[in-house]
Structure 1
Amino acid sequence: MAPINDLNNLVFFAKVVDAGSYSAAAEALGMQTSKLSRRVSALEAELGVRLLNRTTRKLSLTEIGKTFYGHCVALIAEAQSAKDAVHQTLSSPQGLIRMSCPVGLLLGGLADILAKFLAAEPQVRIALDATNRRVDVVDEGIDIAIRVRVPPLEDSDLAMRAFGPSKMILVASPKLVLRHGMPAQLADLAKMPIVAMGYAGDKVTWRSQDKDGNSEELVHTPRLHTDDLLTLRAAALQGIGVAYMPALAVMEEMETGTLIRLLPQLSARSSIIHAVFPSRRGMIPAVRILLDFLAAELAEDSWHPLARESKET
């Protein structure tokens, strides 16, 4: 069965029934009585039934009109409920936020930040996809995708908000350093086994620079090559090799001493932690407030482990 041509005619019909006359309904709707009458007649013609009995003195519903009127009232109520739900969502942070985030960033503290946010906003729900793959924000219906990229960030039709840096550091287990000695320069790592992030390949290249801006480079064949930070961190903890990892992913290990930082005088180009989302227009309060919350919590001076390290020294 074909859908009704104009759902507004259902509202007009119900209004006539509620008002008891075309003239009273037309006045309430702010339209001409003749136009309102034509709209109801068009609805009856479309349905192929008479909904109203008309006399010069009053209107009354036919039997099928009573049934149809009940459905119209229910439909109008549902439409109003839908509108109220939108207004309620826009008035305060609530509802579902769909987001994705790299596993390493969650391990590095973002999971705790999201839990803190949920505790502060009890009406908000989060559906989190912990993944290292690059999600399609629009096609997959993602509200916020957290990414870590080396600048400059690529141009995109998506909206973006940058947070703090994600610095890469060299770490190793104390027992690995005990076996091979503490390296004094990047070239010393050529004598040590390494484990590395990335996809399968024979060699990896680590680039950094010293405090004077002199660039250094190390080409090495890793014992383990993986795109999984959990596996990489586990290998580093077991003393399999030196790891070049995001500092955020080894915060706890550095604090407990199960991993130690190597060659702190060297620095690598930092990646930028940022969020991408479909658009700034029409953003519900829950998404906007989460972005603000992340920006505050991911500020380098209050969260980043290397920022705290520099303050302590």
Structure 2
Amino acid sequence: MNAITDLNDLRLFAEVVQHGSYTAAARALGLQTSKLSRRVRALEEELGVRLLNRTSRSLSLTETGRQFHQHCLALVAEAKAAKDIVDRTRSRPQGTIRIACPVALLESGISTIIARYLADNPDVQVLLDATNRRVDVVEEGLDFAIRVRLPPLENTDLAVRQLGLSIHILVASPALAARHPAPGSIESVKAWPTLSMASSGERFVWNLVDAEGRVTSWAHQPRLATDDLASLRIAAISGVGVAMLPRELVEADIQAGRLQHLLPGMATTPGLVHAIFPTRRGMVPAVRHLLDALVAGFDDLNRQR
């Protein structure tokens, strides 16, 4: 027997049995009676057995047809259950979201946004890869990856949605600041010890932009270099050195007096925080709503500054 290639024929057969006639089934399905009859006959020919006894007045199942009908009902029920799952997934946030995000961005506020989203959507599970490596969203089966880049963004075949901006500022502990004259320019801070994100070439340069758009570069040799923002923040609070950290990461420390914002008129060029994902088509509510929550979360962070 050849494999059945069109499972719709099984559903049509089950509808004929349920309604007791081709005419009633065709009316319920919105099909022509002759077309429905041909589909069931083609199914019998494909199977090589007779499923229905036909008379001018009635239809009845053969013994094989009766057993076959039970399996058809099971398949129809499974298909309906599968569609119901899709319909529910499309109607409200639920299911699993697979994402990747650099550690620095997570520590700068994204972790809080994701946690709040999960608290508001109990039927959603997030599988988060906290990594600084460049991920392939297609090959790794991710719903989206979060990145931060200086503008303009690179051309890509992937879909992109901007989430917000990330600006790094110079901060130091009050204890460290007390040991040095009040800074009025980058030159006045260059004698201070520094802390920095790790650099593959072990060349450490900070580029700061003033209110007029002028860029000043500061080459330095940090006392601590690491790709862990949390360690840099702790070292800065401990007075080890000046650090350039995301404003959203240290805002609470500045408000609490644990850190001081040095040279408030200068900061890095804003980085574009954005999500990349395979396509916008067929995006389920859980993913779309999480992206919306990230955009709203960055807006909240900006308003708090």
Q: TM-score, normalised by structure 2?
A: 0.85
Query: How far apart are residue 105 of structure 1 and its match?
Result: 2.6
What letter is aligned with 1:119? A
Residue in 1 that maps onto 2:221:
221
Alignment of 1:61-100 (within 5 A): 61-100=61-100
1:269 and 2:290 correspond: no
The 1:36–1:205 alpha-carbon spacing in structure 2 relative to 1, beyond 3 Å, is same
For 2:245, what is the secondary structure of its paired residue?
strand
Q: Which residue of 1 aligns with 2:110?
A: 110
Q: CA RMSD in A?
A: 2.7
1:291 paired residue number: 291
Q: Distance in 1 between matches of 2:70 and 2:11?
A: 12
Shift of 1:8: 1.5
Percent identity over the alignment is 54
In 2: Cα distance, 1:149 partner to 1:2 partner: 55
User: How many angstroms does 1:52 deviate by?
Assistant: 2.5
Q: Judging changes above 3 Å, is the alpha-carbon distance between structure 1 residues 184 and 8 closer, same or farther for their aligned structure 2 residues?
A: same
Aligned to 1:303: 301
Report if the CA contact (8 A) 1:175-1:239 is conserved: yes
Within a 5 Å distance, the mapping from 1:111-260 to structure 2 comes to 111-179=111-179, 181-260=181-260
Measure how far apart 1:275 and its partner are.
Answer: 2.6
Against the structure 1 CA distance between its residues 76 and 181, is the aligned structure 2 distance closer, same or farther, given a 3 Å change threshold? same
Q: What is the deviation of 1:181?
A: 5.0
Which amino acid counterpart does residue 279 of structure 1 have in structure 2?
T
Q: Secondary structure at the match of 1:191?
A: coil
Partners in 2 of 1:26 and 1:268 — Cα distance? 69
Aligned residues: 305
Preserved CA contact (<8 Å) 1:96 1:126:
yes
Amino acid at match of 1:137: V
Instruction: Tell me if structure 2 keeps the 8 A contact 1:104–1:248.
Output: no
Q: Which moved more, 1:266-275 or 1:84-93?
A: 84-93
Could you report, residue by residue, the CA deviation over 1:105-126 in whole angstroms, capped at 9, with x for unpaired residues?
A: 3322332222333333344443
Equivalent residue, structure 1, for 2:48:
48
1:32 CA displacement: 4.1
Distance 1:261 1:33 in 2: 79
Is the Cα–Cα contact under 8 Å of residues 97 and 124 in structure 1 kept in the other structure? yes
Partner of 2:17: 17
Q: Distance in 2 between matches of 1:2 and 1:225?
A: 67
**Cα distance in 2 between the residues matched to 1:231 and 1:199:** 15
Residue identity matched to 2:75: L
Q: CA deviation at 1:179?
A: 4.5
Asked if the contact 1:203–1:222 (Cα under 8 Å) also holds between the matched residues in 2, the reply is no
Q: Closer, same or farther in 2 for the Cα pair 1:154/1:2, shift >3 Å? A: farther
Structure 1 residues 213 and 295, CA gap change in structure 2 (3 angstroms): closer
Separation in 2 of the partners of 1:181 and 1:49? 97
Q: Could you list the per-position Cα deviations for residues 229-251 of structure 1 after superposition, in whole angstroms to 9, with x for gaps in the alignment?
A: 22322333343332212112223
